[in-house]
Structure 1
Amino acid sequence: MRPRSGPTVEHRVLAARLRMLRERAGVSLQAAAEALDAHPATVRRIERAETGLDARQVRVLLDRYGVPAAEAEPVMAGLGTANLPGWWHRWRGAMEPWQQEVIGIESSAGLVRTWHPALVPELLRTPDYAAALCRILYPAESPAQRTRRVELLGERQRRMAERGAALWALFPAAALHTRVGGPEVMAGQRALLTEAADRPHVTVQVVPLDFPPHPMTGVPPLHLMRVPAPEIADCAVLETPGARVEITDEPDTVMQYRIRLDSACASAPHPGSPLPGGG
């Protein structure tokens, strides 16, 4: 199980570095576990950033791998930062368990590509649009709980804009005909989309209603994220309604999703085209 608040990118980088150092040294999981007097699953969890980085364990592993002091000390020095909870920790009560992992990656991503088959993508929603959806999707929650969800989304959007991360969103014009929260809410949402499309780091593509099927037709919400750190592989998140959310960094799987999304974007109107009419 991953840390409750989800691992930070700093944590992921150090965990990946430990795996690479073990592999470089030719040390098996079993041998590394024996050095810790633990089960191989413990080493696997450390390398996958699924548990906190204990200084004693990390030092033992570095010694077992024969890592020279000049290379080991930066790893040890980074443990304090890697073990700090992410900024989203205080919002964890407003998050689904899988979101903690996703937001941990998103918070340092340099590029986020997103597709939604029926609604305005999350990172482009206005507070009013997001609040109206929360009332539908989480009817059993208190107004205060739903407000926290909307606040979390706003914080994610703010942090992405602040660090200049690129956002590329694709969605069908049907989203603009699906009335969420009433005419005023939809008018505000359309105004935000028009304004966002002019931002230097945002790309918005809307597939018109009369366009033929494309490679993303019928595909659940998909997010592709790239973190500017060589130790962190590109990640794909597929949100399948009523099923387990798929989060993967397996290169072949991510590549297949990227190819489908690339093809769909290539067939959609050019970014900067006027938004289709909405109801």
Structure 2
Amino acid sequence: MTSPHRSAARIQIGTTLRRMREEAGLPRERPAEVLHCTTTKIGNIETAVSGVRRAELEKLLDLYDVDEATRDDLLNLNTEANRRRPRSKLGGMIQPWLRRILDVEATATEALYSSFELVPAVLQTEAYARALMVACGVSGETLEKNLQVRMERRALLTDREPPLRFWAVIAEPALRANIGGPEVMRDQAKHLLALTELENVVVQVMPQGAGTHPLTGTTLTLFRLPDKLPSLVSVDTPFGDHFVDAVHLVEKTSHWFDYTRAKALGVEESRELLTRITEET
């Protein structure tokens, strides 16, 4: 028997509520008291087995002393999650908000990444990330805060138990893109080499001239989630990330990723190419 469908929006709400409760140092019994329900219901909300009504969500946000911007975001997202409407061809799509994206990433047990243009955020050096953000017009305090958040994401690979399993297929042009200049790119390649020493990190390079594959021209991440939550795909676009939750599209993306990594250089060959790039840059 298949499990009931759980939308990308509902999963993000659940993972965010769980993070808020844990940051507040509260057991599930406390929100259960506030909602006059069982701890099982709180668990179901946090793992997206069931949704949450607006009145219930408001009480939980009060309990966790949530700021107004976060409160409005989650309430609006919950409205979208509960609205009946025809599904788009990309499945569950939402307007992203960084904190919720980070909550999904922090909850994931595994992430599969593919890009023709970019090194994934959790594998970026600070200088590389800074160059990307400056190019997008981010500056001042906002720039520094965003950099801090991005650098903190790297701890998922080393400080979490168990650590996030991360498998990236990065096209060679992304490693020669001259983002931030030669020194930044050289240090970024060295950083990737160092990360491949971790058991939970795999980096493969799609060599220039390899031809097309199903994920050509796309930057995306497939998240495998715990607690029997369905997998999600985050597609990076010029207008932000969109989450895909339709089961058949997620499964198709998984097959496409398998084909893509099979076509890329092997792990050791990729390390050799990364080493050559550091010497040539």
Shorter-chain TM-score range: 0.5 to 0.7
Q: Whole-Å Cα distance in 1 between the matches of residues 242 and 45 of structure 2?
A: 21
In structure 1, what residue type is equivalent to 2:256?
A: R
In structure 1, what residue type is equivalent to 2:259?
A: S
| Structure of greater relative contact order (alpha carbons < 8 Å, 6+ residues apart) | 2
SS at match of 1:114: strand
- Taking a change above 3 Å as real, the CA distance of residues 133 and 143 of structure 1, as seen in their structure-2 partners, is same
In structure 1, what residue type is equivalent to 2:148?
A: E
Is 2:242 the counterpart of 1:259? Answer: no
SS at match of 1:245: strand
Q: Whole-Å Cα distance in 2 between the matches of residues 147 and 18 of structure 1?
A: 33
Contact 2:169-2:203 at 8 Å conserved across structures = yes
Q: How many residues align?
A: 215
Is 2:265 the counterpart of 1:269? Answer: yes
Aligned-residue offset at 1:54: 6.1
Which residue, out of 132, 140, 144, partners 1:143? 140
Which is higher, the Rg of structure 1 or of structure 2? 1
Which residue, out of 238, 241, 244, partners 2:238? 241
SS at match of 1:171: strand
SS at match of 1:272: helix
Structure 1 stretches of 5 or more lacking a match? 21-44, 56-78
Structure 2 stretches of 5 or more lacking a match? 1-8, 19-41, 74-94
201-210 vs 265-274, which moves further:
265-274
| Alignment match, 2:119 | 120
Aligned-residue offset at 1:6: 5.5
**Cα deviation per residue 1:130-183 (whole Å; 9 max; x = unaligned)?**
01111101x2x3322111111101111113421211011111000111101112
- Taking a change above 3 Å as real, the CA distance of residues 120 and 17 of structure 1, as seen in their structure-2 partners, is closer
Q: Whole-Å Cα distance in 2 between the matches of residues 193 and 17 of structure 1?
A: 33
- Taking a change above 3 Å as real, the CA distance of residues 255 and 51 of structure 1, as seen in their structure-2 partners, is farther
| Alignment match, 1:8 | 15
Provide the aligned C-alpha RMSD in A: 3.2
**Cα deviation per residue 1:89-148 (whole Å; 9 max; x = unaligned)?**
8xx9xxx943332211111111011112212122111011101111101x2x33221111
| Alignment match, 1:133 | 132
- Taking a change above 3 Å as real, the CA distance of residues 17 and 222 of structure 1, as seen in their structure-2 partners, is closer
Contact 2:15-2:46 at 8 Å conserved across structures = no
SS at match of 1:8: helix
